[in-house]
Structure 1
Amino acid sequence: MPTRASALLATATVAALLAATAPASASDGRHGPKPNGQRVGYFTQWGADSSAKRVQETGQAAKLTVINYAFGNVSADGTCFQTNDAGQGDAHDDYQRAFSAAESVDGVADAPEQELKGHFNQLRKLKAKNPQLRTVISLGGWSWSRYFSDAAATDEARKKFVSSCIDLYLKGDVPVLAGSPEGGRGAAAGVFDGIDIDWEYPGGGGDAGNVVRPEDGRNFTLLMREFRRQLDALSGKKGKHYLLTAAVAANETVADRLELPELSRSVDWLNLMAYDLHGPWEGKGPTGHQANLYSDPADPDPRQRSADQAVTHYQERGLPAGQLVLGAPLYGHGWTGVAAGPRAGLFQSATAAASDRSYREVEALPGTVHVDRDHGASWKYDGTTFYSYDTAEVLTRKARYARWNGLGGVMVWSLDGDDARGSAIAALDRGLRRD
């Protein structure tokens, strides 16, 4: 996922692969329509426009099946925890902050004596209005993956970590912290329907300072197996099925560390982060697509990365198509000082990176929108500033790709990037629904 910092600036049964579910080429129409899939949206706790009421009023909630709440942190001692220490957690927004009637999903203000307030309580209200919707706590992310390797390193550590996360988020035993009355045993029970692991990344390649071990890939498999064991024990024979998912990189090196056939036995699906293929870390350019569906032979990067390339790789390494959910960004990466060149700024040098902007912000910028239908990509260019982002047309195309290729569905980072009409989620919905 994008870093918390960039988000503040704007912002996964061993089965043989079936030929009928192999990804289609750009012009291939050989696959028949598939049933509607998962529609997963990440909800950022810190986003300026992150509110359950907004998810309801934009129409997003009615079109989603899962909301992933980002993020829960992993402590140095290998447990899930809540705190109000800066950079470590924000229990205040999670479950302590009182929402007024005007802010609340159902128009009812939080009472002073409530055990649960904050986003957690609002998500519970959102589910009450949308029976198809499940909410999942996402653990880690770019900034909070530091101690995953420790938490997964031994059988004892895995059992301890998983148990702590289930107690905190599924049993709802959120702590009563100093100076605030909220929390208590079972106070947040029923808010979350599962757990999403966003370990960035097993074996390295994530944020500076992350603990890394050569055996992280194997330990990730064992960690997810332990999650599945304890989640199933929590369910019992006749209880609800708790979701277990993970976010995974659209990066072959990282993917090859994962034991995908074994992993598929434990997870419901993996959310493929098929974005950030190019971005501001390439500040002088060349500009490029950050989330193109198909590889562009004109891309000067010899890897010529694409979502389709990543989907193919995961399937070739043993993940069934139905357990792969295709991610799309609701934000744009930009560059300034970009000459037009032959393709309206595409693959041109730049003087500097531009600040990341949300989908709705890029849509509102001056400039001309360009859509490359051959490669499933789009951008906006005003003569000097270039933003790579997914338009509604491209989002619909990606959802249709997921449906026609038998993938598990689509995912977005993140819901607060959409506009007031929920146009981006509506575009994905159209692609999953249409024949």
Structure 2
Amino acid sequence: MRTRLLRRLTTLGTIVAVAAAGLPASAASAGSGNGHRGDGPLKVGYYTQWSNYSGFFVKNVDTSGQARRLTHINYAFGNVGPDGKCFINNEPGQGDAWADFQRGYPEAESVDGKADAWDQPLAGNFNQLRKLKAKHPDLKVLISLGGWTWSNYFSDAVLTPESRRAFVSSCIDLYIKGNLPALDGRGGPGSAAGVFDGIDLDWEWPGSAGEPGNVIRPEDKQNFTAVVEEFRRQLDRYGKEKRRHYLLSAFLPANPAAIDAGFEVRKIFKDLDYGTLQGYDYHGTWEPLTNQHSALRVPRGNPTTPDFSVTSTVDAYLQRGAPRQKVVVGVPYYSQGWTGVTGTANNGLFQPATGAAAGSNTYRAVSALVGTGGYRVHRDIWAGHAWIFDGSTFWTYDDPAVIVQKALWVRSRGLGGAMIWSLDGDTEDGVLTRSLAGGLGR
């Protein structure tokens, strides 16, 4: 008993020390064979199309120190139309070409401190990503297709061999070859060439329910495998012309039922450079009880049985044939929050609540509450999760200590790395990304 306690205390000390310093901890190296040309685990961060509207620009990925610590950025999201092809437009709820490639950036918001010219073909986030890559030559950028709200027509797009070929060709033409639509003086053939180094498939979910209205078919599972093969085939064909390798990844669910309904795991990983696993939203404000949303292990006393955790998610994929060096674990830079919590047992954990907590749920915003209004940090070291509670409002989140604990666990399991949703949730000085990189190793 005494030995186990000492180990726990030593582990916590290591976590806190590494989190504070952002320095590598000694552990076995991981990540070989997963599409990263450098050494060590992958560090994949999502940059969202809409984050610039809240003042988080591509420039902030650089000034925060995130860019020099990341290996890959996924740009979220690209849409798939009812015709089964990739497209970009300016239509509310369907596309935001203005944010993607039309908006002119002033000096103060530009990665290189240079304002966009009125007549340059490429502006917007795409041009800022191009500038970011110029400043950080080893950084790779992928376009992520779909997401929760834009997965409506994937099932149609992948239904037949002909539709799959057309779908994949349209996405490569638009994003990899950079043949953007010409809109108000921006875009045009080849205007975005070189911005994207690959494609990330974020279909939520083949064969099982996602957003209401999504097209779902029983054959989605086999058709997802087929479209992954088609992407690999066409990316390799174009890559041969360009004498380079284009990356292919996919975002994959935590729920074993969704895994088995939509994914032939062993087959798809043969063609993916890596897969990013859902490591969050295990519980949330759609439920009446407070709970963890991203724990490393299922907490003892959890009233939900069986439950999700990072460990159970990773094990589910390994058991189904995913190569561990291609498994990239998702970590959240946001929180799940409940208010109207009526019980104080377990410091607010597993207690009834009346609804969602008000305010921003980014780590940056929630961490600022610590020490104010009665909020205190609580953590379950063994389970690997943290939360704050003021007696009536409860937030569950990953703080630097939890992030480092997960990073060290990823390395100990020989996994491919970690993925972040999403970069705008970090602090101005990038404390979470610094902690993640320190735990994974540079």
Counterpart position of 1:271: 276
Alignment of 1:123-202 (within 5 A): 123-177=129-183, 180-202=184-206
State the 1:32 CA deviation: 5.6
Partner secondary structure for residue 388 of structure 1: strand
Structure 1 segments, 4+ long, off by >2 Å, are 339-342
Q: For residues 69-107 of structure 1, what are the alpha-carbon distances to aligned partners after superposition, in whole Å with 9 as ceiling and x for unaligned? A: 000000000000110011000001100000001110000
State how far apart, in whole Å, the 1-side matches of 2:129 and 2:242 are: 25
In structure 2, distance between residues paired with 1:85 and 1:140: 16
Are 1:308 and 2:311 an aligned pair? yes
- C-alpha deviation, 1:237, in angstroms: 6.8
TM-score by length of 1: 0.90
How far does the alpha carbon of each residue in 1:33-53 deviate from its partner, in whole angstroms, 9 at most, with x for none?
124200000001112243110
* Alignment of 1:319 onto 2:327: no
* Equivalent residue, structure 1, for 2:296: 293
- The letter of the residue matching 2:159 is A
CA distance in structure 2 between the partners assigned to 1:237 and 1:120 by the alignment: 23
Aligned sequence identity (%): 50
Shift of 1:238: 6.8
Moved more, 225-234 or 235-244: 235-244
List gaps (5 residues or longer) in structure 2: 1-7, 12-25, 31-39
Between the aligned partners of 1:402 and 1:125, the Cα distance in structure 2 is 31
- Do the aligned residues in 1 keep the contact of 2:329 with 2:419 (CA within 8 Å)? yes
Tell me if the contact between 1:43 and 1:50 (Cα under 8 Å) persists in the aligned partners. Answer: no
Letter in 1 for 2:301: A
- Partners of 2:211 and 2:327 in 1: how far apart? 25
Distance 2:186 2:96 in 1: 13
Q: How does 1:394-433 map to 2 (within 5 A)?
A: 394-433=402-441
Could you say which residue in structure 2 is the equivalent of 1:374? 382
Shift of the 139–50 alpha-carbon distance from structure 1 to 2, 3 Å rule, reads farther
1:387 aligned onto 2:391:
no
Between the two proteins, the alignment pairs up a number of residues equal to: 403
Cα deviation 1:294-335 (Å, max 9, x = unaligned): 012311011121110010010001101111100011000011
Alignment of 1:5-404 (within 5 A): 33-35=28-30, 36-47=40-51, 48-177=54-183, 180-236=184-240, 239-257=243-261, 258-282=263-287, 284=288, 286-355=289-358, 357-365=361-369, 366=372, 367-404=375-412
**TM-score (norm: length of structure 2):** 0.89
Structure 2 Cα separation of the partners of residues 415 and 393 of structure 1: 18
Which SS does the other structure have where 1:338 is aligned?
Answer: coil
1:260, 1:199 → 2: CA distance?
Answer: 15
Measured in 2, the distance between the counterparts of 1:304 and 1:80 equals 36
CA contact (8 A) 1:261 1:319 kept: yes
Deviation at 1:383, TM superposition (A): 1.2
Alpha-carbon distance in 1 for matches of 2:106, 2:27? 48
Does the 8 Å contact 2:199/2:248 carry over to 1? yes
For structure 1, the residue ranges without an aligned partner over 5 or more in a row are: 1-25
Q: Which has the higher helix share?
A: 2
